[in-house]
C-alpha cells in the first residue's frame, strides 16, 4: 500500500501557524468546525446518492459520533459520510488553497439540489483542531476507493499519509489533546455536551455521545408555524434565555428575497434583572445555517429595543475565515431595519387590539421607547411616536398622542404637566379650571417624559 511523508506547502504551513495562534480567539470553536465538516460529509454523500444509489451500501443511518478517552487524552469525531480518497486527502488537507467543501458547494449551486447545504470550511475548519491538539490522526474511506487513508500530523509543517485497510465508509478524526489544565475540560462529558448544545445543537444529523443523542437536529425557528403552539415558544424562550416567566410576545419571521433569513424574537414580561447595570448587553443570537456564531450581535437590534431577546439565522452572511466575526455588515443592516419595522408593527397591533397587554409592556419597557425618541437628536421620533402613551386627565387612563389630538377640537396646544404622581397633579387648582373648560392634560410622572414630548 502507498505511504508517503510530506511537507505542507509554504502558504499552508503559514496559515496553520496563524490558525493555532491568531485566527481562532476561542479554543472551543474547534468542535463546532469539525462537527460542521462531518455534517457536510454526510450531505455530500446524500447529494451523490441522488444519481448513484449504490453509494449507500452498508450503514444508511446518517449520524455523527463523539467519544473521549481520558487515559490516552484523545477526543474523536466520526461520521459515516462521503469520506475521501487518497488524492482528496492530499489535496484538501495538504494544500490550504484547495477545499473539498468549497468545490462541492460550487457544484451543488450549479445543480441546485434542495435539502443539502454546505456549512463547513473543510481544510480551514479542519486545522482548528490544532488549537487544542498536538497531533491529529485522520482515517477515512471513500465509497469510490478500495482502501482507506490515514493522515497524521503534529501541526509542525510535516504530515504522513498512507493507504490502510478500512471497511466502513466515512471519516474518523482523532485529536490527541495537548497537556495543560486548559485542555483537560475537553475530555469531560459535561463539556462536550455543553459545546454541542451551544454551537451545533441544530446540525441536521444526530450527534451521538456514547448511546445518547445530544443535539436537537431541527430548530424551532425552521419548523412549520402551524406545528407550533404558544407552549413550544414559551419553553424554548425560557430554556434558551434563562427566564422564569413566559414571554409577553413572540415574533416568528421567515423572510425571503435578496437576503433570506429566519428570526425568532421575544419580548419578556419583566425587565432583565441586570438591565440597568454595566453588565447588561443587548443583541440577538446569530446563526448561519443552523450553526451558532455569536451570542450578542448588537448590530441586529436598535438600542431602544435592547430588552428584546431572540435570534437570527441567515445562510448568506459574509463571515471571516474563523466565522467568529463578520467581514462586512451590509446584510446585518438590512436585517436590522426589517426587524425594527416588524417589531414596531407588532407593538402597534397590540396597542390597537389589546390595550391592557400594551400597558403591561409599557410599564416595563416604555422608558426605552422614550429614550429612543430622544436619541440621535430625535432621528427615530417619527418611527416611535405612535408607540408613546401617557396618562391623561380625560379619563385617568393611558392615551396615545394621536388619540389626544383627535379630541383637541379647536384647541391648538397639547397640554401637559410634570409631577411626581397623578394625585399631585389632580390636587393642583389649575387642573380643576382646565377640566371645566374641557381641556385635556397629559400627566408626566417620568423624569424623561417632558424632554420626550
In CATH, the architecture of 220-350 is: 2-Layer Sandwich (3.30)
| pLDDT of the residue at 192 | 97
Whether the predicted model's global pTM rises above the 0.85 cut: no
Strand partners of residue 140: 149, 171
Position 431 pLDDT exceeds 50: yes
| pLDDT of the residue at 421 | 85
Position 64 pLDDT exceeds 90: yes
Position 98 pLDDT exceeds 50: no
Position 108 pLDDT exceeds 60: no
| pLDDT of the residue at 101 | 45
Q: Which three cell numbers stand for residue 78?
A: 466520526
Cα–Cα distance measured from residue 275 to residue 243, given in angstroms and rounded to the nearest whole number: 13
pLDDT tens digits along 258-305: 889 999 999 999 988 888 888 888 999 999 889 998 899 999 999 999
> At the topology level of CATH, where does 388-453 sit?
Rossmann fold (3.40.50)
pLDDT tens digits along 131-159: 899 999 999 999 999 999 999 998 887 89
What average pLDDT does range 177-187 have in this prediction? 95
Residues 168, 136 contacting (CB under 8 angstroms): no
Q: Kind of pairing, strands 389-392 and 284-288?
A: unpaired
Of 198 and 325, the structure prediction assigns the larger pLDDT to: 198
For 217, list phi and psi in degrees, rounded to 5: 65, -55
pLDDT band for position 437 (cuts 50, 70, 90): confident
pLDDT tens digits along 49-62: 888 888 887 666 89
pLDDT tens digits along 221-244: 999 999 999 999 999 999 999 899
| 174-to-77, 270, 373 alpha-carbon distances in Å | 7, 46, 55
Neighbours of 281 (CB within 10 A): 10
Residues 175, 133 contacting (CB under 8 angstroms): yes
pLDDT band for position 104 (cuts 50, 70, 90): very low
pLDDT tens digits along 389-403: 999 988 889 999 999
Residues 389, 399 contacting (CB under 8 angstroms): yes
Of 106 and 350, the structure prediction assigns the larger pLDDT to: 350
Position 75 pLDDT exceeds 60: yes
Give the angle subtended at the CA of 159 by the CAs of 29 and 154, to the nearest 5°: 50
| pLDDT of the residue at 364 | 94
Position 121 pLDDT exceeds 80: no
Q: Which three cell numbers stand for residue 436?
A: 371645566
| pLDDT of the residue at 11 | 64
Cα–Cα distance measured from residue 236 to residue 272, given in angstroms and rounded to the nearest whole number: 17
Per domain, the residue ranges of the chain are: 3-213, 220-350, 388-453
Position 120 pLDDT exceeds 80: no
pLDDT band for position 125 (cuts 50, 70, 90): confident
| pLDDT of the residue at 106 | 55
Residue 280 Ramachandran class (φ > 0 left, ψ -120 to 50 alpha, else beta): beta
Q: Give the chain as a 3 state SS string.
A: CCEEEEECCHHHHHHHHHHHHHHCCCCCHHHHHHHHHHHHHHHHHHHHHCCCHHHHCCCCCCEEEEEEECCCCEEEEEECCCCCCHHHHHHHHHCCCCCHHHHHHHHHHHHCCCCCCCCCCCCHHHHHHHHCEEEEEEEEECCCCCCEEEEEECCCCEEEEEEECCCCCEEEEEEEECCCHHHHHHHCHHHHHHHHHHHCCCCCCEEEECCEECCCCCCHHHCCHHHCCHHHHHHHHHHHHCCCCCCCEEEEEEECCCCCEEEEEEECCCCCCCCCCCCCCCCEEEEECCEEEEEEEHHHCCHHHCCCEEEEEECCCCECCCCCCECCCHHHHHHHHHHHHHHHHHHHHHHHHCHHHHHHHHHHHHHHHHHHHHHHHHCCHHHHHHHCEEEECCCCCEEEHHHHHHCCCCCCCCEEEECCCHHHHHCCHHHHHHHHCCCCEEEECCCCHHHHC
Residue 364 burial by Cβ neighbours in a 10 Å radius (0-12, 13-18, 19+): middle
Q: In what order do the strands lie in the sheet with 398-400?
A: 398-400, 389-392, 441-444, 415-418
The distance from CA 171 to its chain's CA centroid, rounded to whole angstroms, is 28
What number of residues does the chain have? 453
What average pLDDT does range 344-359 have in this prediction? 96
| pLDDT of the residue at 370 | 94
Position 326 pLDDT exceeds 60: no
| pLDDT of the residue at 376 | 83
N-term to C-term CA, the chain: 82
| pLDDT of the residue at 70 | 96
| pLDDT of the residue at 90 | 86
* CATH code of the domain made up of 3-213: 3.30.565.10
Position 12 pLDDT exceeds 70: no
Amino acid at each position: 500500500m502507498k505511504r508517503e511523508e510530506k511537507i505542507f506547502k509554504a502558504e499552508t504551513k503559514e496559515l496553520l501557524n496563524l490558525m493555532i495562534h491568531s485566527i481562532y480567539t476561542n479554543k472551543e470553536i474547534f468542535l463546532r468546525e469539525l462537527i460542521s465538516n462531518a455534517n457536510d460529509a454526510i450531505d455530500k454523500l446524500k447529494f451523490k446518492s441522488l444519481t448513484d444509489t449504490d453509494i449507500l451500501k452498508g450503514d444508511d443511518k446518517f449520524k455523527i459520533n463523539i467519544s473521549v478517552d481520558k487515559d490516552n487524552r484523545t477526543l474523536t469525531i466520526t461520521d459515516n459520510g462521503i469520506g475521501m480518497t487518497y488524492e482528496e486527502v492530499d489535496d484538501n488537507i495538504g494544500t490550504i488553497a484547495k477545499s473539498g467543501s468549497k468545490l462541492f458547494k460550487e457544484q451543488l449551486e450549479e445543480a441546485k439540489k434542495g435539502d443539502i447545504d454546505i456549512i463547513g470550511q473543510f481544510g480551514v475548519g479542519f486545522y482548528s483542531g490544532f488549537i487544542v491538539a498536538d497531533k491529529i490522526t485522520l482515517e477515512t474511506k471513500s465509497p469510490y476507493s478500495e482502501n482507506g487513508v490515514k493522515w497524521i500530523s503534529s501541526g509542525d509543517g510535516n504530515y504522513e499519509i498512507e493507504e490502510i485497510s478500512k471497511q466502513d465508509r466515512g471519516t474518523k478524526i482523532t485529536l490527541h489533546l495537548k497537556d495543560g489544565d486548559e485542555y483537560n475540560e475537553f475530555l469531560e462529558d459535561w463539556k462536550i455536551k455543553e459545546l454541542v448544545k451551544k454551537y451545533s445543537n441544530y446540525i441536521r444529523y444526530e450527534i451521538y455521545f456514547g448511546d445518547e443523542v445530544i443535539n436537537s437536529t431541527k430548530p424551532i425557528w425552521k419548523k412549520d408555524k402551524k406545528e407550533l403552539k404558544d407552549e413550544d415558544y414559551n419553553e424554548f424562550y425560557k430554556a434558551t434565555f434563562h427566564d422564569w416567566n413566559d414571554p409577553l410576545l413572540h415574533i416568528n419571521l421567515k423572510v425571503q428575497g435578496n437576503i433570506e433569513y429566519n428570526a425568532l424574537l421575544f419580548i419578556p414580561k419583566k425587565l432583565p434583572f441586570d438591565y440597568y447595570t454595566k453588565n447588561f448587553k443587548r443583541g440577538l443570537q446569530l446563526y448561519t445555517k443552523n450553526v451558532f456564531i455569536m451570542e450578542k450581535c448588537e448590530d441586529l437590534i436598535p438600542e431602544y429595543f435592547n430588552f428584546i431577546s431572540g435570534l437570527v439565522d441567515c445562510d448568506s452572511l459574509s463571515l471571516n475565515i474563523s466565522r467568529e466575526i463578520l467581514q462586512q455588515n451590509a446584510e446585518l443592516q438590512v436585517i436590522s431595519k426589517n426587524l425594527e419595522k416588524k417589531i414596531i408593527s407588532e407593538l402597534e397591533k397590540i396597542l390597537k387590539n389589546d390595550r391592557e397587554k400594551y400597558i403591561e409592556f409599557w410599564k416595563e419597557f416604555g422608558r426605552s421607547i422614550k429614550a429612543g425618541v430622544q436619541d440621535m437628536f430625535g432621528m427615530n421620533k417619527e418611527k416611535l411616536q405612535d408607540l408613546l402613551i401617557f396618562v391623561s386627565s380625560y379619563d385617568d387612563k393611558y392615551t396615545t398622542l394621536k388619540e389626544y389630538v383627535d379630541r383637541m377640537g379647536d384647541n391648538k396646544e397639547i397640554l401637559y404637566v410634570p409631577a411626581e404622581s397623578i394625585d399631585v397633579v389632580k390636587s393642583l387648582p389649575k387642573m380643576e379650571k382646565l377640566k371645566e373648560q374641557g381641556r385635556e392634560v397629559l400627566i408626566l410622572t417620568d423624569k424623561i417624559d417632558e424632554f420626550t414630548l
